[in-house]
Amino acid sequence: MAAEPMTQDSPPPVDPTPEDDTAPVPWWFASALDTALRQAGEIAPARLQQILELATRELGCSSIAVAGRDGLVIAHRVPRGTDPRTAAALAASILNSASDVARDLRQAEVRQVIIDSTDGRIVAMAAGTDAIVLAIYERDADLAPLQLRLDHVAETVRSILEEL
């Protein structure tokens, strides 16, 4: 059976084989949506990597990563031999635990957690409600002047992720 030509009054054709039992999605909508998501998916990681590259240079951190609040890595710049998945999962756990403590003590939202260890300093900072930025600094790093700049990195990450 040949397809009928589209006229201005006729709706666009519908994909006759939907993947599930829900209402079929018009092919033109699915195609436009897939293209938009693919473009966003290609652009956002490149932008995140660029931000992280600049942050490692300008903020002097040895490692930096972006992760979801679930601990899954979104993007990272870490030295070889470092597993960004472990760092991201632990940072998310720490920030989420600190948020639980703050909520139980009726404090406002936790923006960041700083861990001061004998080998260095670790900053886990909220990047919106769904992501975190994890930055690792040398022990002698002065975090005071870096806080505002790291906050700007987190805000930029948040805006990039919201575009997706």
Q: Using CA atoms in the order 134, 160, 98, 117, what is the torsion angle rounded to 10 degrees?
A: 10
Tell me the mean pLDDT in the region 147-156: 90
C-alpha–C-alpha distance, residues 55 and 50, integer Å: 9
The pLDDT of residue 25 is: 42
The pLDDT of residue 63 is: 93
33-163: which CATH number, 3.40.50.20, 3.30.450.30, 3.40.960.10, 1.20.1540.10? 3.30.450.30
- In the chain, what are the domain boundaries? 33-163
Residue range 65-122, pLDDT digits in tens: 999 999 999 999 998 888 999 989 999 999 999 999 999 999 999 999 999 999 999 9
The pLDDT of residue 134 is: 95
How does residue 42 score in pLDDT terms, banded at 50, 70 and 90? low
C-alpha–C-alpha distance, residues 69 and 128, integer Å: 10
- Supply 51's token pair: 């931000």
Tell me the mean pLDDT in the region 131-158: 91
How does residue 21 score in pLDDT terms, banded at 50, 70 and 90? very low
- Supply 71's token pair: 């601990």
The pLDDT of residue 85 is: 93
